[in-house]
Structure 1
Amino acid sequence: MKKMIVILALMVPMFMLGMADVNAQGRWEFLGKRAVNYGLDRDVIPVTWRDGAFDGLKFEVKGGALNMRKCIVHFENGGKQEIELRHNFGKGSDSRIVDLRGNNRLVEKVEFWYDTNNRARNKAVIFVYGRH
């Protein structure tokens, strides 16, 4: 019986820590995607305000490789946040979670500059997700 109590006493804090981590991650929502062109280019993913307010973003690349040069998030109040996201995305890779300054911001659009060096001729597709 003592072993059972000790096991339960150890499991409860571990369970609570796991639940706290899930809640800290928030709820993710797909905001948009863009199939990128070959070479050096710029694209915009519009985000509708009805999608709600976000405190973080995450980027995922599928289909091909992409070298992210610059990323700017435009907010509905006219503000901007440049994200240091210089990263070489391989096929099927994703970014770190990017915190938005001010928390719970209404995003108008995500603008990004990139280049591709894709020998396989598969266009990369970038997906953007927002965290509530």
Structure 2
Amino acid sequence: MNTLQKTLSTIIILLLFVPAFAQHPPKHPKHVNAPAVVKHKWEKLGSKTVNMKADTDHLLVTAYEGAFTKVKFHVAKAPIHVKSITIIFANGETKHIAINKDFPKGTNSKVFDLPGNKRVIQKIRFEYQTIDNGNGKAIVTAFGKH
């Protein structure tokens, strides 16, 4: 085979494989917009096992979780009567929400919108009254939405 035939054969073989490579996107894109992926997901801010003797508990939230536009909470293990919650923001401002409602175990609160665009939460204060039904202490879990 002469040099011209070898070169043409190599080019033809390469041209046969190029369309196959062009059809498959790369496995790892260079730019991933991670916040957009979790933008609409509820993120756990923390849980607190309520004290049967106290009537107020604080759930600390770190700035690592970021800024949120909405919050809600879930009650597990035992029922609880929630009087109110107060959300304390990183800048010292607060939002007090009167609730005054019984939450059986396994239930969620409604979704509460936070004032402003996005807020960094420092802590959430729960004012409650325990409901003794023999199931032990209630566990309150707070969730935030970015």
**What range describes the TM-score normalised by the shorter chain of this pair?**
0.7 to 0.9
Instruction: Work out whether residues 76 and 140 of structure 2, in 8 Å CA contact, stay in contact via their aligned partners in 1.
Output: yes
Gaps spanning 5+ residues in structure 2: where? 1-36
Match of 1:111 in 2: 125
The two structures have a TM-score, normalised by structure 1, of 0.77
Match of 1:64 in 2: 78
The partner residue of 1:27 within 26, 29, 41 is 41
The two structures have a TM-score, normalised by structure 2, of 0.70
Distance 2:129 2:54 in 1: 4
Runs of 4+ in 1 over 3 A off after TM superposition: none
Distance 1:51 1:121 in 2: 31
SS in 1 for 2:144: strand
Q: Answer 1 or 2: higher relative contact order, Cα 8 Å, separation at least 6.
A: 1
Q: Percent identity?
A: 34
Q: Are 1:95 and 2:133 counterparts?
A: no
Structure 1 position 41, deviation (Å): 1.2
Name the count of aligned residue pairs: 109
Instruction: Work out whether residues 38 and 116 of structure 1, in 8 Å CA contact, stay in contact via their aligned partners in 2.
Output: yes
Gaps spanning 5+ residues in structure 1: where? 1-22
Instruction: Work out whether residues 39 and 115 of structure 1, in 8 Å CA contact, stay in contact via their aligned partners in 2.
Output: no
Matches within 5 A, 1:46-61: 46-61=60-75
Match of 2:93 in 1: 79
